[in-house]
Amino acid sequence: MEKQVLTLEKLQNRILSLEEERLALSNALDIALKINDIQPDTAAETTMESILSVCYERTGRLVALREGAFYLFREEDAVFYQAYASSSAAKERIEHELPLLIDDGTIAWVVQTERPVTVRISSGEDAFLHALAAPGRTMGVFIGVLKEAKEDILDISYALLSIYFSQVAGVLQNRELLRMARSENRDLSSTVDVLRETEEKLVSLNRTLEEMVEERTRELEKINRLLKEEIAERKRKEEALLESEELSASLLNHSPHPILVVNPDTSVKYVNFALEQITGYSLVEVINRKAPYPWWGEEKLSSVSEYYRMVQCGETSKREYCFRKKNGSPLWVEVSMTSISGSAGAKYAVANWVDITDRKMAEKARDNAEQLLTETNAKLQDTVGGIVVSMAQVVETRDPYTAGHQERVARLAVAIAGEMGLSEEQIQGVGVAAVLHDLGKIDIPAEILSKPSRLKEKEYSLIQDHCVAGYEILKNVDFPWPVAQAVLQHHERMDGTGYPRSLSGKDILLEARILAVSDVVEAMSSHRPYRPSLGLEQGLAEISLYRGSRFDEQVVDACLAIFARGESPWRE
């Protein structure tokens, strides 16, 4: 409270001192302005342009002027700016001359010497220059274009103008000082008001501070109580953390999976007992050991730099490794490594092992079994292929006129299937079905197969039965493709006019549709007992004619595309 009373007394004394300074400054300015021919009120209230206009008029009484302009110096950016011109023409004309007068040093000479000078300007006329200089400060410069030559100006006129311009500069300076004094007076009055208001605020602030101290005291007491509770809670958490750490250490040591903690330099910081049990290496052999580790095989020695990167990169990784136990037996493990980072980078990495030796051995056994199965399947396919060719040759021995027909049909059918983009598995099935498509002719008498004249109705009926006969022979053979059905349906037609079941459309296997087109094209292109070859063009014309009715559109298009490119599947 004593300090606050002293502060209020100092503020009151400062207010009285500032008030006395303001009155003294106002009196000094009034005295200074009385020595000029312009009254203080006039200097303060009259515009700058009016003062300079009067000055120009009085200057013109001593010197004959054509035109003129006053330039005042602005200290903020150190430039002369035009404050008054006798006319708009003079404003532009003298503004043009100013840079030239500055560049040749005339303006600088006038300002420094405070003496008048008459010079020849760029228009060829004479100009009169004089500084507006007050004691200790240059207010500006006057530039006037003379009507008469400079020799006609009397020296007394120069002397009077120097005195007059000095008075004008003083008026301008006093005007500026008065303006500043009034501004200072307003600022002082405002300061007094602010100080009074501050005094009131200080009294109010004193009361507020007392209230705040009381409130803060209550808050500190509350904080103190909360801190005591927090300390007690932290102590409880520390005890729980210690218990948790002991539990974690116990869990790590009793984990069935090996767990390692590795420093950034790959040295082993911690391992649990499971690692010793699985690898056979004791903890003494492992702790503080850097890579390469004893369980690494020779093939892992080149991976030390990669292991360093994994430990230090701060990423989580999972990889499978084949290690070596101390007794030399293989140990397959899945290692999950997680890096723990601190403010300065990687602190350590935790590696968790899972023994996958049994799984790897099972996978190896399975791979061996799959390889054996693949080799067995390949041998079986070779055997089936040999059987298929042998069966086809049996048919050809009974029908010498159609020798090679089944092979040629198979080549064309395989080419069509490839053109249609079928899978390799489907293409292989089409080829087998094509080789065996006439297998049922083995039941038909040889004299009918090789009869040179057209067949009778009953004989043709026997020929038609070869589809069913072939199916009966093949239906119990466990092919990986629908060979028996393709043989049964290879004389069916898309419009239902075929035999033996009059199937139509999508009810006919795709393989059978391919055989139908291949069979017709090859048969018409080859010699028969009852007619000579009709030619490939006739065969292609036949399938084109019945495209979409008897024969599948896509199959026909694929066949035509093959021959259109000049490719023949029958060329050796």
How many angstroms separate the CA atoms of 125 and 88, rounded? Answer: 19
For residue 136, pLDDT beyond 60: yes
Q: Which residue has the tokens 């079994």?
A: 369
Q: Region 375-380: what's the mean pLDDT? A: 55
Residues 261/286, Cβ–Cβ less than 8 Å:
no
Q: How confident is the model at residue 40, as a pLDDT?
A: 40
Q: How confident is the model at residue 287, as a pLDDT?
A: 83
Q: Region 360-386: what's the mean pLDDT? A: 65
Interacting residues of 419 by C-beta distance below 8 A, sequence separation 6+: 558, 559, 561, 562
Q: What is the DSSP letter of 152?
A: G
How many angstroms separate the CA atoms of 58 and 142, rounded? Answer: 13
With cut-offs at 50, 70 and 90, classify the pLDDT of residue 8.
low
Q: How confident is the model at residue 420, as a pLDDT?
A: 93
Q: Which residue has the tokens 């605020």?
A: 201
Q: Which two tokens stand for residue 238?
A: 């520390």
For residue range 218-239, what is the model confidence (pLDDT) as tens digits? Answer: 888 888 888 888 888 888 888 7
With cut-offs at 50, 70 and 90, classify the pLDDT of residue 35.
very low
For residue range 290-299, what is the model confidence (pLDDT) as tens digits? Answer: 877 887 766 5
Residues 509/486, Cβ–Cβ less than 8 Å:
yes
For residue range 59-94, what is the model confidence (pLDDT) as tens digits? Answer: 888 788 899 999 998 888 888 889 899 999 989 999
How many angstroms separate the CA atoms of 486 and 434, rounded? Answer: 8
The mean pLDDT value of the chain amounts to: 78
For residue range 419-432, what is the model confidence (pLDDT) as tens digits? Answer: 999 999 999 999 88
With cut-offs at 50, 70 and 90, classify the pLDDT of residue 180.
confident
For residue 358, pLDDT beyond 70: yes
For residue 397, pLDDT beyond 60: no
Residues 107/141, Cβ–Cβ less than 8 Å:
yes
For residue range 304-341, what is the model confidence (pLDDT) as tens digits? Answer: 556 656 655 656 777 777 888 888 888 888 887 777 77
Sketch out the chain's domains with CATH numbers.
259-355 (3.30.450.20), 369-564 (1.10.3210.10)
Q: Region 387-397: what's the mean pLDDT? A: 56
SS3 481: coil
With cut-offs at 50, 70 and 90, classify the pLDDT of residue 549.
very high
Angle of the 457-464 helix axis to the 466-474 helix axis, nearest 10: 20
Which residue has better confidence, 192 or 544?
A: 544
For residue 399, pLDDT beyond 70: no
Tell me the percentage of the chain whose pLDDT exceeds 70: 75
With cut-offs at 50, 70 and 90, classify the pLDDT of residue 449.
low
Q: Which residue has the tokens 């300002």?
A: 111
Q: Which two tokens stand for residue 17?
A: 């001192």
- The H or E element containing residue 379 is helix 357-398
Interacting residues of 243 by C-beta distance below 8 A, sequence separation 6+: none
For residue range 252-277, what is the model confidence (pLDDT) as tens digits? Answer: 666 778 887 878 777 888 888 887 88
For residue 503, pLDDT beyond 50: yes
Residues 68/144, Cβ–Cβ less than 8 Å:
yes
Q: How confident is the model at residue 192, as a pLDDT?
A: 80
Nearest Cα neighbor of 522 from 381, 379, 412, 391 is 412
How many angstroms separate the CA atoms of 159 and 162, rounded? Answer: 5
How many angstroms separate the CA atoms of 424 and 222, rounded? Answer: 85
Lowest mean pLDDT among 33-47, 148-162, 182-196, 303-317: 33-47
First to last CA, the chain: 123
